[in-house]
A and B are shown apart, each in its own frame.
Chain A
């Protein structure tokens, strides 16, 4: 190669390479510890330039960002080499929302295969398709959808006049072994347990409690049987405000 590829480190550090050069240089970086170190140090330097252009963001941005992150689970760390047994045990056995084949006929799957023998049944009643259909048919039905990056989604339907809500999931992976998805309704600053979701990619679950007066809903992953403290303890999958329709 006639040009010295190491000399691209500075341009790479400030994103001043075109796509082809960038790809070439990233291949080079994988094999060149000297360039990796230099790029890291030059990125420290370039980041300082942002100090000279500080600008307060618009007021509404904070809420939008915080609403965004509430719907996305952070990626697990990249694990290299040995990790402790505890760390392994805490890592989910599977991704929660793998993008399966796009479900074209989800609605027909609703209510099929519900786990009627689960111990949580009396906290959270499985609804027949007709029940969610009644909510969806209400004059005041609202829906709140969350799409996850892998193509799965959860949609909550709420009718304030019926004081009922049901959540419909598509392509949702089972909770990790020994875990279960728990549903929550937010009332002011408290999260109130609203039922558990059975395994299976496409579910419909009616929420217990008082959806009409709730401010939002959430989904967490809890130990089988659900949180015993009455408050969310596990990892947060989604939290959605009812003002964000």
Chain B
């Protein structure tokens, strides 16, 4: 059974612990109500969660809200995570991404979409991202893999994933025939997947 943990002043685990936590195990314990396990999960994934929310939502205060909502949902639904169907990180980030996209779409866009795409969304300025990302070997591998996409695949994928646009909107932004952006997005994802060797493919 799970101990009831005190509510405040929980010491945070040492930063930069060298042992990668077992995210699947932490999710499983979280599903049983283990708040200590969830705090470890937070420490392990929050830079990805918050970074993704900021990238999609853009407004930091709103990104914080989205992060908070998404993490609460991850806590609530932790027992529904099925390790046979994917990695814990992908499962969590899918929840975060969905909430972020819902936020930008409902916040509608008045400001964002009244501004021209090129002015507002200098296509994925990687240099503006956190310093930490540059240090990450994984990030470099991902960037290299993204670099192997055709330019239109990459732009379509980044507008969809980071911009939160629908494939129809992406087609409009990139002057592609309606219906073709979804193919570019899919082709780009397949290449990214195969280059990175994920997804059991």
For A74-112 the 0/1 string (1 means CB < 8 A from B) is 111110000000000000000000000000000000000
- Structural contact, B161 and A11, CB atoms closer than 8 A: no
Taking beta carbons and an 8 Å cutoff, which residues of A are in contact with B? 3, 7-11, 13-18, 21, 40-58, 61-70, 72-78, 149, 184, 186, 188-191, 215-216, 218, 220, 231-236, 239-241, 243-244
One digit per residue, 1 when the CB lies within 8 angstroms of any chain A CB and 0 when it does not, for chain B 54-88 equals 11000010001001100110011111100001110
Minimum CB–CB distance from B130 to chain A (whole Å) comes to: 4
Kindly provide the distance from the CB of B154 to the nearest chain A CB, expressed in whole angstroms: 11
B188 surroundings in chain A (CB, below 8 A) = 10
Question: Contact between A241 and B72 (Cβ–Cβ < 8 Å)?
Answer: no
Residue B50 contacts which of A11, A16, A57, A190 (CB distance < 8 angstroms)? A57
Q: Are B55 and A16 in contact (CB under 8 A)?
A: no
What mask results when residues 73 to 117 of chain B are scored 1 for a CB within 8 Å of chain A, else 0?
001111110000111011001100110010000000000000000
A11 touches B182 (CB 8 A): yes
Q: Which 5 A-B pairs have the closest CB atoms?
A: A10-B186, A41-B199, A232-B4, A45-B193, A55-B51
Q: In the assembled complex, which residues on chain B have CB atoms less than 8 Å from the CB atom of A232?
A: 3-4
Q: Chain B: which residue is nearest A243 at the CB level?
A: B8
Question: Is the interface on chain B under 10, 10 to 19, 20 to 34, or 35 or more residues?
Answer: 35 or more
Cβ contact of A77, chosen from B31, B71, B90, B157, cutoff 8 A: B31
> In the assembly, what is the distance between CA of A14 and CA of B193, in Å?
13
Residue of A10, A53, A184, A233 near B55 (CB, 8 A) is A53
Q: Which residues of A contact B119 (CB under 8 A)?
A: none
Given A50-B48, A54-B48, answer yes or no on A64-B68 (Cβ-Cβ < 8 Å).
yes
Compute how far the CA of A234 lies from the CA of B3 in the bound complex, rounded to whole angstroms.
7
Q: Which residues of B contact A (CB under 8 A)?
A: 1-8, 10, 12, 30-33, 35, 38-39, 42-43, 46-52, 54-55, 60, 64, 67-68, 71-72, 75-80, 85-87, 89-90, 93-94, 97-98, 101, 126, 129-130, 132-133, 136, 138-139, 142-143, 145-146, 157-158, 160-162, 164-168, 170, 179, 181-183, 185-190, 192-193, 196, 198-201
Q: What residue of chain A has the Cβ atom nearest to residue B28's Cβ? A: A77
The answer to whether A235 touches B185 (Cβ under 8 A) is no
Contacts of A70 in B (CB 8 A): 7, 35
- CB of A4 to closest CB in B, whole Å: 10
Chain B residue at minimal CB-CB distance from A63: B8
Query: With A41-B200, A45-B192 given, can you name 14 additional A-B contacts, CB distance below 8 Å?
Result: A10-B185, A16-B182, A40-B86, A43-B90, A45-B199, A48-B138, A49-B142, A50-B51, A52-B146, A69-B71, A74-B75, A75-B76, A189-B6, A216-B7
A-B contact pairs, 13 of them (CB 8 A): A7-B182, A11-B167, A11-B186, A14-B161, A16-B161, A41-B199, A49-B142, A50-B93, A55-B133, A61-B64, A66-B39, A68-B68, A243-B8
Q: A42-B193, A74-B76 are in contact. Are A53 and B199 (CB under 8 A)?
A: no
Give Cα distance in the complex from A168 to B181, angstroms: 55
The CA-CA distance from A48 to B46 in the complex, in Å, is 15
CA distance A180 to B113 in the complex (A): 54
